[in-house]
Amino acid sequence: MSTPLATAPSPAARPWRQLLIIWALLLTVPLWLPLLGGYTAMAGRVLVFALAAMSFNMLLGFTGVMSFGHAAYFGLGAYGAGLCLKFVAASTPLAMLAGTLLGGIAGTLFGLLLVRRRGVYFAMVTIAFGQVCFYIAYKWDDLTGGYDGLRGFARAPIDLGFATLDIANNGTLFYFFILLVFGLAVGLQALVLGSPFGRTLLAIRENERRARFLGLPVERHIWLSFSISCFFTALAGSLYALLNNFADPLGLNYIMSGNIVMITVMGGMRTFWGPLVGAVLFVMLQDYVSSMTTNWMFFVGMTFVLVVLFFPRGLMGMLKRKAEA
């Protein structure tokens, strides 16, 4: 009788192994990151940009629609959280809710206006809306602080009743708070993308005309995808304001939109975890290279060009392709 030969792990086992590795690394960041010269605030920044890019990837990578104005919802989330902390109440959860609702509702309403546009027209209208938000924040000195940004607020400790989470003064505790929010958010994203609605988005991405012939309401699905993406991006923006205790117009600028696109493409825009890999690469390059030269954007740009030229599917896409080979 022949004995079965040893085989490689089944494709079904690979996502679980990948998931375990990712979460093991994220949960142990305070242990190993200082050995590389990093710090927990940098890890928090990675998670914030990763959440923003993964939210944007729902639209680009899984629906096939390009937006160059997602910084608008990121920045509105940051301003919503900051204004709530400064003028309403010193409550971190309330500030996150306010920022998420401000950016998400703005994206939902704006999506109704552009849902019938496609290609370059869709992209240009989104960047125009983003610049309108940037201009308003830049000029409204009395409310937003203008070019100097919104100051005078800080994240507040969270009272759980039986204990108090001092995320205001404990950087490591705040990192785990961001990680908790990040985990809940990407878990919801995974549920959405794994649902029949998510499968419909993939069908629209692959062949919009065929999806329309099958009777699918394409415009409605694209609008819902855009709206969901904006809500999650605004959540990332609110975390960004809490991380820095600051919100500024540059968070609404097209440069921030470009950063989100760059992170997504470098990591792998058709993979779920690709934007996280892109965020790690982007933030580490930004942090380490900027400490050596003021021209750090040149090196980030060159890295982006090299990734696009040699790894057109992104870093995570390349690894996924090798695993499937």
239 inside domain: yes
Q: Is residue 73 part of a domain?
A: yes
User: Which tens digits make up the pLDDT trace of 64-118?
Assistant: 889 888 999 999 999 999 999 999 988 999 999 999 999 999 999 999 888 888 7
Q: Quick check: is 15 in a domain?
A: no
Burial classification of residue 124, based on how many CB atoms lie within 10 Å of its CB (0-12 exposed, 13-18 middle, 19 or more buried): middle
C-alpha dist (Å) from residue 32 to 36, 166, 174, 259, 271: 7, 23, 17, 26, 26
Calculated CA dihedral for residues 132, 136, 138, 139, nearest 10 degrees? 130
Structure tokens at 149: 């940004």
- Mean pLDDT, residues 138-145: 89
> Which 8-state DSSP code applies to residue 9?
P
**Per-residue model confidence (pLDDT) at position 5:** 45
Buried b / exposed e over 130-147, threshold 16 CB at 10 Å, is bbebbeebbeeeeebbee
Identify whether 9 is part of a domain: no
pLDDT of residue 119: 77
Could you list the residue range(s) of the whole structural domain that residue 59 is in?
Answer: 38-261
Q: 154: closest CA among 242, 238, 44, 237?
A: 242
Q: Is 264 strand, coil or helix?
A: helix
Q: How many domains does the chain have?
A: 1
Q: Is residue 89 assigned to a domain?
A: yes
* Beta-carbon count within 10 A of 296 CB: 16
The answer to whether residue 214 is domain-embedded is: yes
pLDDT at 3: 47
Beta-strand runs (E) in the chain? 158-159, 164-165
Is position 277 within any domain?
no
pLDDT of 122 reads: 84
Secondary structure of residue 272 in the 3-state scheme? coil
Lowest mean pLDDT among 76-90, 120-134, 236-250: 120-134
**Mean local confidence (pLDDT), 127-131:** 89
> Is 30 domain-assigned?
no
